[in-house]
């Protein structure tokens, strides 16, 4: 009897395509923390970045690939020698390295963007796969915009790159244009028309512009794809990528019909979702499948009645199966360092030494102010005390005093350290936050525009910490800043300063634009 491959490999691209979500850039330390959680989750491949695109990405790929154990570690590379060489430079010495090289194959891209003939694109693809194979055995090739490529030409390119040594062939729906039936038929067509396809794994990479990325990936798997590229919470370029938690839970929940498996430890899905949301500042919509706040909340009386009688009446998955059984109340002022460290580890943060001391000190201060310290508070502390410290800080908030009320013009006095020198200024505004922001902007002389400001109470109660997120833009660079504090004006100032520091970092580490 023929051995049927029923295992679908999960290729996580949260750190590469996910990071292409506007404002979602992560620093190296943050990427390592996410990568460790991905390894705990059991993903097969981690795409750690695009080594050639910037020195920051190179370093992130290098450190993730060398410091995180378990999955295959991959760098993206255009079909250009310098990209392949940079990818290898970052991956060399890693336990399980992969180079993922790509070139567009659709007529639209070749003609209008890259000015290449089909023959030239195919030749370059073959040469670059061969170049990558000169460095290592594991090479993935992507035919960008494959879903809008003429199938006969796509078959030709795939056959040629497999002969050149590619062992994974990725079929991206780059612009999220495909429909499930036709995308499934494309994969079937590849299986039937590429003579050497048996030597490679077919992978898919679907974008979510029409909300079909998960459906298209599923249809591809039903038709023979055995690797799915996806991201935590579905983040990614424009409307994002196929959501890892959704596709994985489909295979698990409907194994009866689909007969396929992944290697994912599904109990780690919810912690992974929380971690990525807290690090990137990209909120998960409450009604999002699997990991949204309401995904397991039953409101209707009829449903509640059924659930009380038997869970199977309205629940197709157990919340515990995605790791949602944790207690909401975690620690208080009598909790010790060991309990704090243990909870951090459960939340995906592996922190020790000086960083743990800083976070624990801040926890004690907070626990004195608040009766109950929740997971969300702990995540905010790590964000503030540990992760943000990895960012080169040109600006530091030293002091902030604001006044306002019904009868006075809101005003602020702020001291910010700029390149190691303390500068104090006063200013006014429409409200205390506006006054603080105007004053800070004057001190640092920023030309950035505030695109978005939002404040959330991290947990319930008037003693809750406020978490502020701001989005800033300057010369096309968009960054997100976050700050938390029991005083929301202080949280606002911290978020603004954090975003300004990120902007400085981003301007220095500007990524190459994708030009072939």
Q: Which residues bind Zn ion (CB under 5 A)?
A: 17
Nearest partner of 397 among 430, 376, 425, judged by Cα: 425
- Distance between CA atoms of 185 and 206, rounded to whole angstroms? 15
Q: How many CB atoms lie within 10 A of CB 309?
A: 9
Question: Which of the choices Zn ion, ligand KIV, none does residue 142 contact, using the CB cut-off of 5 to 8 A by kind?
Answer: ligand KIV
- In the bound state with ligand KIV, the residue whose beta carbon lies nearer, of 170 and 227, is 170
Q: Answer positive or negative: Cα dihedral of 159, 161, 162, 168.
A: negative
- Distance between CA atoms of 304 and 286, rounded to whole angstroms? 19
Question: Which of the choices Zn ion, ligand KIV, none does residue 23 contact, using the CB cut-off of 5 to 8 A by kind?
Answer: none
* Start-end of H helices in 347-413: 353-369, 375-382
Produce one character per residue of 355-374: b if its CB has 16 or more CB atoms within 10 Å, e if not: bbebbbebbeebbeebebbb
- In the bound state with ligand KIV, the residue whose beta carbon lies nearer, of 213 and 501, is 213
DSSP tally for the chain: helices H, then strands E = 17, 16
The least distance separating ligand KIV from the CB of residue 241, rounded to whole angstroms, comes to 8
* Coil vs helix vs strand at 237: coil
Q: Give contact residues for ligand KIV (rule: CB under 6 A).
A: 17, 102, 142, 144, 170, 172, 174, 205, 207
The least distance separating ligand KIV from the CB of residue 447, rounded to whole angstroms, comes to 31
- Distance between CA atoms of 493 and 166, rounded to whole angstroms? 50
* Coil vs helix vs strand at 470: strand
Question: Which of the choices ligand KIV, Zn ion, none does residue 75 contact, using the CB cut-off of 5 to 8 A by kind?
Answer: none
- In the bound state with ligand KIV, the residue whose beta carbon lies nearer, of 16 and 494, is 16
H or E segment to which residue 275 belongs: helix 269-280
Question: Which of the choices Zn ion, ligand KIV, none does residue 144 contact, using the CB cut-off of 5 to 8 A by kind?
Answer: ligand KIV
- Distance between CA atoms of 128 and 139, rounded to whole angstroms? 10
Question: Which of the choices ligand KIV, Zn ion, none does residue 383 contact, using the CB cut-off of 5 to 8 A by kind?
Answer: none
- In the bound state with ligand KIV, the residue whose beta carbon lies nearer, of 53 and 501, is 53
- In the bound state with ligand KIV, the residue whose beta carbon lies nearer, of 172 and 429, is 172
The least distance separating Zn ion from the CB of residue 207, rounded to whole angstroms, comes to 6
- Distance between CA atoms of 57 and 48, rounded to whole angstroms? 8
- In the bound state with ligand KIV, the residue whose beta carbon lies nearer, of 238 and 371, is 238
The least distance separating ligand KIV from the CB of residue 172, rounded to whole angstroms, comes to 3
- Distance between CA atoms of 410 and 366, rounded to whole angstroms? 28
Question: Which of the choices Zn ion, ligand KIV, none does residue 216 contact, using the CB cut-off of 5 to 8 A by kind?
Answer: none
The least distance separating Zn ion from the CB of residue 100, rounded to whole angstroms, comes to 11
- In the bound state with Zn ion, the residue whose beta carbon lies nearer, of 242 and 260, is 242
The least distance separating ligand KIV from the CB of residue 207, rounded to whole angstroms, comes to 6
- Distance between CA atoms of 116 and 108, rounded to whole angstroms? 11
The least distance separating ligand KIV from the CB of residue 42, rounded to whole angstroms, comes to 22
- Check residue 165 and give left, alpha or beta (phi > 0: left; psi -120 to 50: alpha): left
- In the bound state with ligand KIV, the residue whose beta carbon lies nearer, of 170 and 383, is 170
Question: Which of the choices Zn ion, ligand KIV, none does residue 218 contact, using the CB cut-off of 5 to 8 A by kind?
Answer: none
Q: Answer positive or negative: Cα dihedral of 481, 483, 487, 490.
A: negative
For Zn ion, the nearest residue by Cβ is 17
Question: Which of the choices ligand KIV, Zn ion, none does residue 477 contact, using the CB cut-off of 5 to 8 A by kind?
Answer: none
Q: Yes or no: say if 180 and 219 are a contact pair by the CB < 8 Å rule.
A: yes
Measuring CA to CA, how many Å separate 332 from each of 43, 278, 366, 486?
A: 34, 22, 9, 16
- In the bound state with Zn ion, the residue whose beta carbon lies nearer, of 79 and 488, is 79
The least distance separating ligand KIV from the CB of residue 100, rounded to whole angstroms, comes to 7
The least distance separating Zn ion from the CB of residue 16, rounded to whole angstroms, comes to 8
- Distance between CA atoms of 373 and 71, rounded to whole angstroms? 34
Question: Which of the choices ligand KIV, Zn ion, none does residue 446 contact, using the CB cut-off of 5 to 8 A by kind?
Answer: none
- In the bound state with ligand KIV, the residue whose beta carbon lies nearer, of 12 and 467, is 12
- Both tokens of 433, joined, read 């936050």
The least distance separating Zn ion from the CB of residue 408, rounded to whole angstroms, comes to 52
């Amino acid at each position: 009897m023929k051995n049927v491959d029923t295992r679908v490999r999960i290729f996580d691209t949260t750190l590469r395509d996910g990071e292409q979500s506007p404002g979602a850039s992560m620093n190296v330390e943050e990427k390592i923390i996410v990568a460790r959680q991905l390894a705990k989750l059991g993903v097969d491949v981690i795409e750690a970045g695009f080594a050639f695109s910037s020195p920051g990405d190179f370093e992130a790929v290098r450190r993730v690939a060398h410091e995180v154990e378990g999955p295959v570690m991959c760098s993206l590379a255009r079909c250009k020698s310098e990209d392949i060489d940079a990818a290898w430079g970052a991956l060399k010495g890693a336990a399980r390295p992969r180079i993922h090289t790509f070139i567009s194959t659709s007529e639209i891209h070749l003609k209008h963007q890259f000015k290449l003939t089909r023959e030239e694109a195919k030749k370059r693809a073959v040469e670059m796969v061969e170049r990558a194979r000169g460095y290592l055995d594991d090479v993935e090739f992507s035919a960008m915009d494959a879903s809008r490529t003429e199938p006969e030409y796509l078959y030709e390119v795939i056959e040629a790159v497999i002969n050149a040594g590619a062992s994974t062939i990725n079929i991206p729906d780059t612009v999220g244009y495909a429909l499930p039936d036709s995308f499934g038929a494309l994969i079937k067509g590849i299986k039937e028309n590429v003579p050497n396809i048996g030597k490679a794994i077919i992978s898919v990479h679907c974008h979510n512009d029409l909300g079909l990325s998960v459906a298209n990936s599923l249809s591809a798997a039903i038709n023979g794809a055995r690797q799915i590229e996806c991201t935590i919470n579905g983040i990614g370029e424009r409307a994002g990528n196929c959501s890892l938690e959704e596709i994985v839970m489909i295979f698990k929940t409907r194994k009866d019909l689909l007969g396929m498996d992944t290697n994912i430890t599904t109990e780690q899905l919810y912690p992974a979702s929380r971690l990525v949301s807290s690090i990137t500042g990209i909120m998960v919509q409450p009604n999002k499948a699997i990991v949204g706040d309401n995904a397991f909340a039953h409101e209707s009386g009829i449903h509640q009645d059924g659930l009380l009688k038997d869970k199977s009446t309205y629940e197709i998955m157990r919340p515990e199966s995605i790791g949602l059984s944790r207690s909401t109340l975690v620690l208080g002022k009598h909790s010790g360092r060991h309990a704090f460290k243990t909870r951090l580890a459960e939340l995906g943060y592996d922190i020790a030494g000086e960083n743990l001391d800083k976070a624990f000190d801040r926890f004690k201060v907070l626990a004195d102010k608040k009766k109950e310290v929740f997971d969300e508070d702990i995540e905010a502390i790590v964000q503030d005390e540990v992760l943000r410290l990895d960012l080169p800080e040109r600006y530091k908030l030293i002091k902030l005093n604001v006044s306002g009320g019904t009868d006075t013009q809101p005003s602020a006095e702020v001291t910010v350290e700029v390149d190691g020198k303390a500068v104090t200024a006063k200013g006014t505004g429409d409200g205390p936050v506006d006054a603080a922001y105007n004053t800070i902007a004057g001190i640092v002389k920023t030309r950035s525009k505030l695109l978005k400001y939002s404040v959330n109470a991290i947990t319930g109660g008037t003693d809750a910490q406020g978490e502020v997120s701001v989005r800033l833009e300057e010369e096309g660079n968009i960054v997100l800043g976050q700050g938390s504090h029991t005083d929301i004006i202080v949280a606002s100032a911290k978020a603004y300063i954090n975003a300004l520091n990120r902007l400085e970092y981003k301007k220095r580490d500007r990524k190459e634009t994708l030009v072939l």
